[in-house]
Structure 1
Amino acid sequence: MTTDDAAGELACYRRTIDNLDASLLYILAERFRCTEQVGHLKAEQSMPASDTERERRQLDRLMSIANEVGLSRHFVGALMTMIVGAVVERHNEIAAGK
């Protein structure tokens, strides 16, 4: 493989990565739009912002998927901790009327 061939192949991989990164952001935005509605419902019904049992079940389910697709359980755990933390923070803000 020549340097030019390698550069072309690298550029192709990078275009794919760029598209996947954009897709991830669109998916996260949709997830947060949905959890925003959950936050409003919880606030209207005086429900707690966090549901630790639901979070545990969801993390267990996602860890199983991580195993199936070959993703690091540590990575998935850290990612979901960050996402759920942001959601719970937003739910608390909604409940406080912010």
Structure 2
Amino acid sequence: HPETAEAVQAIERLRGSIDNVDTAIVMLLAERFKYTEEVGRWKAQAGFAPADAEREHRQVARLRALAEQAGLDPDIAEGYHAFVVGESKTRHQRIADAS
């Protein structure tokens, strides 16, 4: 059926785009965590706490606003933030413990 073939082609094309976006996200996350590792080293060297609640609150508000502008559910942006900040804190604590 031509309709089925068209649907299969559209799905394959869209999945290719999804794969490209996933690749970009992983590359950007790798870059982001390189920066947070460096922040963690500076914090440990200066004796700062691994967490910065004030910055976290500002970042959540900023990301929620960006999500709204982009047409993304702000809860998704907040969930992303929770993931990356949680991982960053864990890494910062490991760096502090090793210092």
TM-score per shorter chain, which class? over 0.9
Structure 1: give runs of 5+ residues left out of the alignment. none
Deviations 1:37-78 (A, max 9, x none): 000010011111111101111111111101111111211111
The RMSD of aligned alpha carbons is: 1.2
Q: Could you tell me which amino acid in structure 1 is paired with residue 76 of structure 2?
A: F
TM-score normalized by the length of structure 2: 0.93
Q: Could you tell me which amino acid in structure 1 is paired with residue 96 of structure 2?
A: A
Match in the other structure for 2:9: 8
* Regions of 4+ moved over 4 Å: none
1:72-83 alignment, distance < 5 Å: 72-83=73-84
Q: Could you tell me which amino acid in structure 1 is paired with residue 91 of structure 2?
A: R
Output the CA distance in 2 between the equivalents of 1:68 and 1:87. Answer: 26
TM-score normalized by the length of structure 1: 0.94
Identity of aligned residues (%): 36
Q: Could you tell me which amino acid in structure 2 is paired with residue 8 of structure 1?
A: Q
Match in the other structure for 1:61: 62
1:14-93 alignment, distance < 5 Å: 14-93=15-94
Aligned length: 98
Bigger proportion of residues as helix: 2
Q: Could you tell me which amino acid in structure 2 is paired with residue 23 of structure 1?
A: A
